[in-house]
Amino acid sequence: MISRETLEVYTKYAIEFLLDVKGRLGEDKFDEFVKFLVGYVAKSIEVTDFIEKVKEIFEGDTDLLLRFNIFIPREYEIKLPLEGEQSQPKKPVTMEDAIRFLRKIKAQLEGVDNHSYKSFMSILTMYHNKQKSFTMVCQEVITLLQGHPGLLNEFYDFLPKAASDHYIGARNCARGDI
């Protein structure tokens, strides 16, 4: 059973997403998206056909594609990279790297902000238990680590190249670095 608070957050996110889609794609593509969304909700369009159409409509806008994942079944999640790109870590990440990073997170967050450390661990646990998508984890961890640029940069090292490039590019654009 979904709590009222979760439903409210999800509804707000959906409305913001639709407004963003309309603003980025324009009226014609937005209308096309809504037409297929209505067909999908009415179950007159198969999920795979719907997702392929969304990929086509959102072509070139990786941010919309990634954010769209929250609305589709986990097994159909749109993964980076798209259309033949190779997903490679920037450098091979070892178990020792992961353990070192978790220790650094604990050292920097636990003493100063125990809530942030517990939230970080909760996000990872939910991902491990398949309760959160890759996209949701990225967005939540990036938000959580906003005040810790060193940790945030290290987090990007654990992402596939296409995903880290996307999130670093979005951050730089938001800061006006581009």
Q: What are the tens digits of pLDDT across the range 68-119?
A: 887 787 777 777 654 444 444 456 778 888 888 888 888 888 766 678 888 8
How many C-beta atoms surround the C-beta of residue 35 within 10 A? Answer: 12
| Separation CA 24–CA 30 (nearest Å) | 9
Q: What is the pLDDT of residue 115?
A: 81
* Arithmetic mean of pLDDT, 22-37: 90
CB of 101 closer than 8 Å to CB of 150: no
For 140-174, b/e burial (b = at least 16 CB within 10 A) is bbeebbeebeebbebbbebbbbbbbbbbeeebeee
Size of the chain, expressed as the number of residues it contains: 178
* 33-42 residue pLDDT tens: 999 889 888 8
Q: For residue 80, what pLDDT is reported?
A: 65
Average pLDDT, integer, range 50-71: 84
pLDDT greater than 60 at residue 177? no
Task: Say what the pLDDT of residue 83 is.
Answer: 46
pLDDT at 178 over 80: no
pLDDT tens sequence across 135-176? 888 888 888 888 787 888 888 877 776 666 666 666 655 555
Stated pTM of the model: 0.48
Q: pLDDT-derived band of residue 31, with 50, 70 and 90 as boundaries?
A: very high
Better pLDDT: 4 or 38: 38
Q: What are phi and psi of 35, to 5 degrees?
A: -60, -45
Mean residue pLDDT of the chain comes to 79
Biggest CA-to-CA distance, the chain: 53
Domains (ranges, CATH) in the chain?
4-76 (1.20.1160), 95-175 (1.20.1160.11)
Confidence bin at 14 (pLDDT 50/70/90): confident
